[in-house]
Amino acid sequence: MKQILIKVFLIFSLAVIVTGALLFLPAGSFDYWQGWVFMAVLFTPVLFVVSYLVRHDPELLERRMRFKEKLKSERKILTIGNFFFFIGFLIPGLDFRFGWSQVPVWLVIVSDVVIFIGYMLVFWVFRVNSYTSRIVEVMKGQKVISTGPYAYVRHPMYSGALLMFLFISTALGSYYAMIVMIPIIAILIYRIFDEEKLLLKDLKGYKEYYEKVKYRLIPGVW
């Protein structure tokens, strides 16, 4: 547990530093208030979730610290996704510096609220599904989860991630950054198909669940 907590602390610290650099260096100012609010909304819940997992599900916390994908196709697509994600965090700072977008304050605030809701949906998934790995895999002894958000969609964690991706740009006060987020959403959808292939092949009972719960991401839509 001590080693896991040290790893969590290092990853969290690095994430805060890198995110801050990506936002404030292009902005050329620390007066970029949208960046500060976004970082608070993004990182404060992490402390709560880590605290919860330490007490109730340290095995899940350990699994969330794995980053090396086993599938070659996933490694390639994540490399592309990371590139677009990197660019997507650079543009808002430049947008702030040069005044390209005029995103109203109310939309920035609403966007941050939606991002928080998306993260809480992910946390709900953590509470219900202890097998939630960061990488695409089927673990020994893994069972199909069909309760909680899984009763409505097959990939509720991605539903939460989708909410976050859709509103990151406006939360950071940039309309132009939304262009870069479109490929990230496409990559998320690709990952869903890739994951389902593995689950249908290797996870006992998933085919029955697949046929019972019709929607992947958005109830009543897809």
Q: Token pair of 221, please?
A: 């839509």
Compute the distance between CA of residue 83 and CA of residue 81 in angstroms, rounded to an integer.
Answer: 5
pLDDT in single tens digits along all 222 residues of the chain = 778 888 888 989 999 999 999 999 999 999 999 999 999 999 999 999 989 998 888 888 888 777 676 667 677 777 888 888 889 999 999 999 999 999 999 999 999 999 999 999 999 999 999 888 777 678 788 899 999 999 999 999 999 999 999 999 999 999 999 998 888 888 888 889 988 998 999 999 999 999 999 999 999 988
From CA 166, how far away is CA 80, in angstroms rounded?
18
Helix 156-171, helix 33-56: angle, nearest 10: 160
What b/e sequence results for 87-106 when a residue is b if at least 16 CB atoms lie within 10 Å of its CB, and e otherwise? bbbbbbbbbbeeeebebeee
**25 to each of 20, 83, 191, 210, how far by Cα in Å?**
8, 18, 31, 45
Tokens of 117: 């809701």
Q: How far apart are CA 141 and CA 121, in angstroms?
A: 25
Instruction: Give 220's DSSP letter.
Output: T
Cα atoms in the Cβ-side hemisphere of radius 13 Å centred on 46: 13
| Overall pTM surpassing 0.95 (yes/no) | no
Rg of the chain (C-alpha set): 18
Cα(first)–Cα(last) distance of the chain, in Å? 39
Query: Domains in the chain, start-ordered, CATH in brackets?
Result: 2-132+142-212 (1.20.120)
Q: Rounded to whole angstroms, how far apart are CA atoms 216 and 195?
A: 11
- Whether the CB-CB separation of 180 and 91 falls below 8 Å is answered with yes
Predicted local confidence at residue 185, as pLDDT: 86
Residue 104 has phi, psi (to 5 degrees) of -65, 155
Task: Kindly give the residue spans of alpha helices, DSSP state H, lying in 28-71.
Answer: 33-56, 58-63
